[in-house]
Amino acid sequence: MESSFNLKGKIAIVTGATRGIGWSCAKVLAKNGMTVIINGVSDNNMLNQRVDELKELYGVESEGYLFDVSDSNAVKDCYNNIFKKYKRLDVLVNNAGIMIDALIPMISNEMLDKILDVNIKGAIYNLQYASRLMGRNKSGSIINISSIIGRFGNEGQTVYSASKAALIGITMSAAKELAPQNIRVNAVAPGIIQTDLIKNYAADKTMKLRDSIKMKRIGTPEDISNTVLFLSSSLSEYVTGQVIGVDGGMLI
């Protein structure tokens, strides 16, 4: 029997895919046969390097697009190019996001605009264009990368928490709207994950975080990307409108 994780012939786009969770998602989808289109925002050399890695490691087709997801025209151009070349899209991993911490009195207008533009507007722009492409074939999976912070909040992260909570609301509404077209929309809510966001934490802070997790380990990007793989595959074809926490039991 053919594996349900064999995604050969399918097309995916992963935003914010040059490092961390996004890069791990790009790799696991490519490993399972998908053509993977990746997005980066600032480093074209790194983006091209990642495209080459996907091709060399997994023998799949891959392309990279450098743009800010909060730029609606740039997002539109990317999806127009996907349509021209592939005529379809099967998976969107809405991963691009930024995190800036500030206590409530220190939240600036610039910070507020930047986080909401990328984490909310950027996600909606990609959702819009991806769903249009998926609607042509009445099939697709949209996976929004939210956060444990969007579900339960955290001190000093009011704006980031608001943006990730909004992404959960976006997921629920879009799932209802797009289900008749057989387009599934789900969110993944990572807990504490070993990425660049925490690599410079002091040892005592890292240990405190680890001790708050029931499984007694900080998660890896692969813990998230394996869940994304499930949501990209036919194994989850009856799953939509869900928020899947991947946090090692941090909240139980």
Phi-psi region of 174 (alpha: psi -120 to 50; beta: other; left: phi over 0): alpha
**Cβ atoms 244, 223 nearer than 8 A:** no
Q: How far apart are CA 157 and CA 175, in angstroms?
A: 27
Annotated active-site residue 160? The verdict is yes
State the DSSP H helix or E strand holding residue 39, giving kind and residue range, or none if neither. Answer: strand 35-40
DSSP string, the chain: ---TT--TT-EEEESS-SSHHHHHHHHHHHHTT-EEEEEESS-HHHHHHHHHHHHHHH---EEEEE--TT-HHHHHHHHHHHHHHHS---EEEE-------B-GGG--HHHHHHHHIIIIIIHHHHHHHHHHHHHTTT-EEEEEE--HHHHH--TTBHHHHHHHHHHHHHHHHHHHHHGGGTEEEEEEEE-SB-STTTTTS-HHHHHHHHHTSTTSS-B-HHHHHHHHHHHHSGGGTT--S-EEEESTTTT-
Which among 86, 129, 160, 201 is annotated as catalytic? 160
* Catalytic sites, residue numbers: 160
